[in-house]
Amino acid sequence: MRTIIVSLFLMALVSCASTPPQSTAYILEYKDFGPPVIASDLIGMDWWQWQSHGDSRPKEYKIKVVVYKNTELIEIEKLYPVIPSENQDYRYVDYHDALKYLDQHISENIIEKVANKLIDTKNRIIRSIGDE
C-alpha cells in the first residue's frame, strides 16, 4: 500500500513538471495597448469592428484583446467569439506579436505615461501566460 502511495505521488510530480502552463490566453482591454494611433496597427481601430465608423460623440467602446500562445487562432476565436448583437468585440493577438509591439513602443518612450502603461501590460502578459 505504501509503495502505491509513493508511486502515485511520484507520478503526480512528474505530471506536474511536464504540464505546460494551463493558461494559453490572456484577456486585456484595448487601452492596455496605448492610444489608438499606435494600437490600431496591431489590434485595429477603437470602435466596433463590424461598423465602418463609430459614434459621433466621444465614448469608450468595451473592446477586449486576447493575447494567445501555444494554440491555434481558430480555437481562440471559438472560445472568444465576436458577437455584434451583444456588443462583444474581441481582437486576437499572437503572444510574440504582442511582445514585439510592446517592446518597440516601450523603447521609443514617446510619452512616459504611455510607456509605463505598456510596461505594465507586458508584465501582466508574462505573469499570466509565461515568458519565452
Partner 1 sequence: MKIFSDYAKEKLLDLYNNHDHEVGSELKKSNPEKYKSYESTDCITYALNVISFAFKSIGNNEAAKRSWGLGKHGTELAKYLVNHHGWKGVYINPDVNHPLDSDSEHAYTSYLASKKCEYYKVPLEYKVTNYAITPKTNPAFGKLNKSKGVTALNTIDIASLEFVKFGFGVSRGGRHTWLFSKGKIYEVHWDEIGANLYESSSIRAFPWLSGAIVVPSEQAALIVASAKVKCR
Spatial separation of the C-alpha atoms in residues 77 and 61, rounded to whole Å: 20
Positions in the binding site for partner 1 (CB under 8 A): 34-38, 40, 45-47, 52-58, 110-111, 113-114
- The grid cell for 125 is 502578459
Closest distance of CB 125 from partner 1, Å: 20
For residues 131 and 95, is the Cβ–Cβ distance under 8 A? no
Spatial separation of the C-alpha atoms in residues 105 and 102, rounded to whole Å: 5
Taking the least distance from each CB to partner 1, the nearer of 65 and 129 is 65
Taking the least distance from each CB to partner 1, the nearer of 38 and 126 is 38
Closest distance of CB 121 from partner 1, Å: 14
Greatest Cα-to-Cα distance within the chain, rounded to the nearest angstrom = 72
Taking the least distance from each CB to partner 1, the nearer of 40 and 128 is 40
